[in-house]
Structure 1
């Protein structure tokens, strides 16, 4: 059974976006009902999800319009009047998609960066986070403006006469005088900027985590939690490779357009999922507490120990809530991270677990 490439994009996009919706809904449930601390990072992720659904709707119309003609018709002047209306619809959907795709990725990145801003207590780390927020915001704004004004007169971006002219093999054919730039440059710039920002966001918390004097197993666990975003980097890298194939010629653009849209869906949804899954650990925290409660009751049934046993153990795991102190003072790790209790307070007389830098608590 033959499936149109555009239809495959819609099916894959609907599946991934539905999964992202479930993940984000569970994230809101955990943050609102289990911790009562829904923050800016959660709302930014919700905005990213809404733009991802918008991308899916655009992909659907791209599939509907492109299925009504064959790319080979572009080179046949007699066929062009028959397909002019649907080609115009396709060009409009691509014009809108350029901006919605850029905005969806922007909100995913800002959600992660605002989460970093909350847990950033080291001055250098905080400044790097603010600088990255500025970089992502500026290049997103510039890319959206460039996408909207691809032509000096924006409606020329979906002018069919200009589109068909690039397929004419006759050099004497009079082309319309449209003042537009090649959108391939914008796509390549956006792909490079997205990949660069993904790598920066992935590496930002690593030095801080490596500086913590905690057991290697806990250190690797924390790094693993923050490194889930590598899924988005892989998807972004594959999409950039597909884009290079797509940008070779107008014919290649028609051939690899569906692949470009497919990997765009994978890239955006993998970013949403990888950034939200760590928060879902709260769903299993109740079960852990119940199990610890049963164990504690069994211990309480044993003969009481002598007084003066030293109080709370320094190695007792503690769930430290974040966003309740604005990132100031003691470390405010998210509730999905379990760290030694002595890491959460400087007044517990612990010398076993300390940051290596005297002014760095996280």
Structure 2
């Protein structure tokens, strides 16, 4: 047993579950309220609403995956877990990364589609279409990077010697690109909001989206730092910052 583990019976199950369930419930309330308003109050439904719905469904899968960590020992010290449970958690972590990347992509695509519905000038269309292409290309590249980061793929969750590319470079690059995209969206939209002649409720919603963009960036930085801090831990089942991806989804 690891000598650094002072209390082998220590459990972080409650905080792990809370960090997965609570943010999802809060975000679901806001998302469902928005979708209800769009469908039944305003009577309109756009591609942005469809993309946000897809993102929300994806977030359900993320919440389920992160709660399943507990089933295989998540929240407990790794030294007291069976090898089969550690492998199962590694498989769940692999699935979580794939779904999380998909959710981030569809959310950003939904925001871009929303701006396309609001802004119709030539520059806006070109700017947003370019961002759409970058977002899609980045997501596809990262999904393939995640899937084929190890050869064979099963090395991702194996406990023995691995043949994998380093995790940190691609993770940092992906985080940096996503932050740059969020900044580009904010820099683009802020000057356009003030003179915009649209219903007050819609303008407030746009301000809210832009304001949340700052939180998204802070959440992305926090997630990046936390994951890089713990990714090489020998006690990842107990110290895993699983709540980080929930935090970013909550502010997306």
The answer to whether TM tops 0.5 is yes
1:12 maps to which residue? Answer: 19
TM-align CA RMSD: 2.8
Q: Distance between the aligned counterparts of 2:224 and 2:67, measured in 1?
A: 22
1:263 maps to which residue? Answer: 244
Report the TM-score, using the length of structure 1 for normalisation. 0.60
Q: Distance between the aligned counterparts of 2:130 and 2:63, measured in 1?
A: 31
2:227 is the alignment partner of 1:240: no
User: Which runs of structure 2 are paired with 1:48-59 in the superposition (5 Å)?
Assistant: 48-59=55-66
Residue 47 of structure 1, CA deviation: 0.8
Aligned pair in 2 of structure 1 residues 226, 264: CA closer, same or farther (>3 Å)? closer
Residue 201 of structure 1, CA deviation: 2.0
Residue 139 of structure 1, CA deviation: 0.6
SS of the residue corresponding to residue 72 of structure 2 reads helix
Q: Distance between the aligned counterparts of 1:131 and 1:31, measured in 2?
A: 27
2:69 maps to which residue? Answer: 62
2:164 is the alignment partner of 1:180: yes
SS of the residue corresponding to residue 86 of structure 1 reads helix
2:35 maps to which residue? Answer: 28
Unaligned runs of 5+ in 2: 1-8, 198-202
Residue 35 of structure 1, CA deviation: 1.6
1:21-63 CA-partner distances (Å, limit 9, x unpaired)? 2222222221122221111111111111111111111111223
Report the TM-score, using the length of structure 2 for normalisation. 0.83
1:193 maps to which residue? Answer: 177
RCO comparison, higher one (Cα < 8 Å, 6+) = 2
Residue 91 of structure 1, CA deviation: 1.1
Aligned pair in 2 of structure 1 residues 67, 95: CA closer, same or farther (>3 Å)? closer
Q: Distance between the aligned counterparts of 1:128 and 1:4, measured in 2?
A: 49
1:86 maps to which residue? Answer: 85
Residue 256 of structure 1, CA deviation: 4.3
SS of the residue corresponding to residue 36 of structure 1 reads coil
Aligned pair in 2 of structure 1 residues 159, 243: CA closer, same or farther (>3 Å)? closer
Q: Distance between the aligned counterparts of 1:188 and 1:179, measured in 2?
A: 20
Q: Name the structure where helix makes up a greater proportion of residues.
A: 2
Structure whose alpha-carbon radius of gyration is higher: 1
2:4 maps to which residue? Answer: none
1:224 maps to which residue? Answer: 207
Q: Distance between the aligned counterparts of 1:222 and 1:12, measured in 2?
A: 27
Residue 227 of structure 1, CA deviation: 2.3
Q: Distance between the aligned counterparts of 2:110 and 2:129, measured in 1?
A: 13
Residue 237 of structure 1, CA deviation: 2.1
1:77-124 CA-partner distances (Å, limit 9, x unpaired)? xx8xx7221111111111111111111111111111100111122211
Q: Distance between the aligned counterparts of 1:183 and 1:213, measured in 2?
A: 44
Q: Distance between the aligned counterparts of 1:208 and 1:221, measured in 2?
A: 13
Matched positions, count? 240
Q: Distance between the aligned counterparts of 1:179 and 1:67, measured in 2?
A: 25
Residue 19 of structure 1, CA deviation: 2.2
Aligned pair in 2 of structure 1 residues 252, 194: CA closer, same or farther (>3 Å)? farther
Q: Distance between the aligned counterparts of 1:223 and 1:60, measured in 2?
A: 33
